[in-house]
């Protein structure tokens, strides 16, 4: 028998653009957010117009860390192409105070902190996101900071334009304060778009930051000051399948292996979450 969904209230909504928002949902009964692991998703449910009592569900990664017990934070794109998305069209019509259903967090896109032999995995975490694929990494980074982790992190985020580089101020600040322990590389693929006006950072798709060019180091390696290998780096990739396939095709020749195709001993150096 499936567990009944709980009710939640939309308590905060910040629109970054007309189709990209950060929202917060609080359990309606006032209870704290249940325990979860950074990288997990929550399933939201809504009764859509014309569909009676049927609840339509969709998965959304949590961008808040598990230490935040007051609300779930989510980073959501309104799907509009080629046709308006069923769920996000209803979600973007909601205002603060409106209610929706949620089911407790689940999912395996979590931080690997042990190697297959059980020893601590201390390799640098390289987090690669396209669009709202950033959400789980916001949770990772805030959690690792909250627990005082010494693991070095590099976060690479690609979006179409500068306005879609969500959580930019937060990550800029963490990079500035991190003394080299947190490297942040945002990039926009449409630098000439009016919404990119004033952007002086990297341009191109996020995977281009990993391509070794003439000097035979990538933008990422230049920022890190060392070459990436499966011995020193562990990748997490989140977003649309095109980005994931491109990143894997760049990393495979360097000896990296993904969790979709582990080595005989069960080890891998790339973990993937696809949004569709
Ligand atoms: C584990 C996981 C985590 C996720 N986390 C996030 C997150 O953090 N943030 C986020 O924004 N999304 C996330 N997603 C995606 C999310 O679950 C939804 O898939 C997304 O919001 C679209 O839902 P929708 O109902 O609005 O669109 P849908 O109605 O399901 O449509 C999906 C796409 O198909 C297209 N489409 C629909 N009908 C047709 C048709 N007849 N012909 C052609 N095209 C059509 C739509 O235009 C749209 O682009 C996640 C998905 C997974 C699996």
Same domain, 230 and 99: no
Full-model pTM? 0.97
Strand order in the sheet with 72-77: 55-61, 41-47, 99-106, 6-17, 20-27, 72-77
Band of pLDDT at residue 114, cut at 50, 70 and 90: very high
* Residue 210 located in a structural domain: yes
Alpha-carbon gap, residue 36 to 26, rounded angstroms:
15
Closest CA to 100 of 51, 150, 46: 46
Residue 188, domain CATH: 3.40.50.80
- Smallest CA-to-CA distance from 45 within 78, 81, 4, 75 is with 4
111 lies in some domain: no
Measured by CA distance, the residue closest to atom 44 of ligand 1 is 82
In a domain, 115, yes or no: no
pLDDT at 3 exceeding the cut of 80: no
CA 85 to ligand 1 centroid distance, Å: 6
CB 128 within 8 A of CB 235: yes
97 and 202: one domain? no
* Length of the chain measured in residues: 276
- Same domain for 102 and 227, yes or no, is no
CB-based burial label for 103 (10 Å; 0-12, 13-18, 19+): middle
For the segment 190-205, the average pLDDT, to the nearest whole number, is: 97
How confident is residue 2, by pLDDT bands cut at 50, 70 and 90? low
From the CB of 118, is ligand 1 less than 6 Å away?
no
Domain span holding position 52: 6-106
User: How does pLDDT run across 221-255, given as a tens digit for each residue?
Assistant: 999 999 999 999 999 999 989 999 999 999 999 99
Do 135 and 92 reside in the same domain of the chain?
no
Separation of 113 CA from ligand 1 center, angstroms? Answer: 30
Nearest ligand 1 atom to alpha carbon 83: 47
Residue 34 sits in a domain of what CATH number? 2.40.30.10
CA-to-CA separations, 192 to 86, 168, 185, 208, in angstroms, rounded: 31, 19, 19, 18
Would you say residue 17 lies in a domain? Answer: yes
Residues 45 and 135 in one domain: no
CA distances from 222 to 95, 216, 225 (A): 44, 10, 5
The count of domains in the chain is 2
Render pLDDT for 70-95 as a digit per residue (tens, 0 to 9). 999 999 999 999 999 999 999 999 99
137/229 same-domain check? yes
Give yes or no for residue 28 having a pLDDT over 80.
Answer: yes
Predicted local distance difference test score (pLDDT) of residue 258: 97
Q: What is the pLDDT of residue 174?
A: 97
Looking at residue 179, what is its pLDDT?
86
Looking at the structure, tell me whether residues 143 and 266 fall in a common domain. Answer: yes
- The verdict on the CB of residue 139 being under 6 Å from ligand 1 is no
Q: Is the CB of 79 under 6 A from ligand 1?
A: yes
Given 78, 106, 134, the domain boundary residue is 106
Q: Are residues 91 and 154 in the same domain?
A: no
- Amino acid 240: pLDDT: 87
199 lines ligand 1 (CB under 6 A): no
What percentage of the chain has pLDDT greater than the value 70? 99
For ligand 1, whether the C-beta of 77 sits within 6 Å is yes
Q: Indicate if the pLDDT at residue 4 is higher than 70.
A: yes
The DSSP code sequence of 207-241 is: GGGG---TTS--HHHHHHTS---TTTEEEEEEE-H
Whether the predicted pLDDT of 1 surpasses 80? no
Strands 41-47 and 99-106: antiparallel
Residue spans of alpha helices (H) in the chain: 86-91, 135-146, 168-177, 219-224, 241-251
Ligand 1 atom with the smallest distance to the CA of 107 is 1
- Ligand 1 atom nearest to 56, measured from its CA: 25
The pLDDT value given to residue 89: 98
- Is residue 173 situated within a structural domain? yes
Q: Is residue 112 part of a domain?
A: no
pLDDT of residue 169: 97
Q: What is the mean pLDDT of the chain?
A: 96
Residue 211 has pLDDT above 60, yes or no: yes
Give the SS3 label for residue 56.
Answer: strand
Q: Are residues 182 and 167 in contact, defined by beta-carbon separation less than 8 angstroms? A: no
How many other CB atoms sit within 10 Å of the CB of residue 114?
9
* Ligand 1 contact via 21 beta carbon (within 6 Å): no
Kind of pairing between the strands at 6-17 and 99-106: antiparallel
Kindly give the distance from the C-alpha atom of residue 182 to the centroid of ligand 1, in angstroms, as a whole number.
31
Q: Is residue 114 part of a domain?
A: no
Q: Are residues 151 and 239 in the same domain?
A: yes
Minimum CA distance residue for ligand 1 atom 11: 76
- Is 255 within the bounds of a domain? yes
What 3-state class would DSSP assign to 160? Answer: coil
């Amino acid at each position: 028998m499936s567990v009944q969904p709980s009710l939640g209230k939309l308590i905060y909504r910040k629109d970054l653009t007309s189709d990209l928002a950060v929202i917060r949902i609080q359990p309606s009964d006032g209870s704290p957010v249940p325990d979860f692991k950074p990288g997990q998703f929550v399933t939201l449910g809504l009764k859509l117009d014309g569909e009676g009592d049927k609840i339509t569900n969709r998965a959304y990664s949590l961008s808040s860390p598990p230490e935040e017990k007051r609300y779930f934070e989510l980073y959501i794109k309104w799907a509009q192409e080629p046709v308006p998305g069923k769920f996000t069209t209803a979600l973007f019509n909601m205002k603060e105070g409106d209610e929706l259903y949620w089911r407790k967090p689940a999912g395996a896109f979590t931080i690997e902190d042990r190697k297959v032999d059980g020893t601590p995995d201390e390799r640098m975490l390289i987090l690669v996101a396209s669009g709202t694929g950033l959400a789980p990494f916001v949770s990772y980074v805030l959690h690792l900071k909250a627990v005082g982790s010494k693991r070095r992190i590099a976060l690479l985020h690609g979006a179409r334009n500068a306005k879609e580089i969500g959580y930019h101020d937060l990550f800029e600040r963490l990079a500035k304060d991190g003394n080299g322990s947190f490297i942040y590389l945002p990039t926009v693929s449409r630098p000439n778009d009016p919404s990119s006006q004033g952007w002086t950072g990297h341009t191109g798709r996020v995977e281009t930051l990993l391509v070794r060019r003439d000097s035979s180091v990538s933008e990422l390696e230049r920022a890190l000051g060392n070459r990436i290998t499966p011995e020193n780096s562990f990748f997490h990739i989140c977003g649309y399948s095109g980005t994931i396939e491109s990143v894997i095709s760049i990393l495979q020749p360097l000896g990296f292996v993904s969790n979709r195709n582990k080595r005989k001993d069960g080890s891998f150096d790339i973990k993937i979450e696809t949004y569709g």
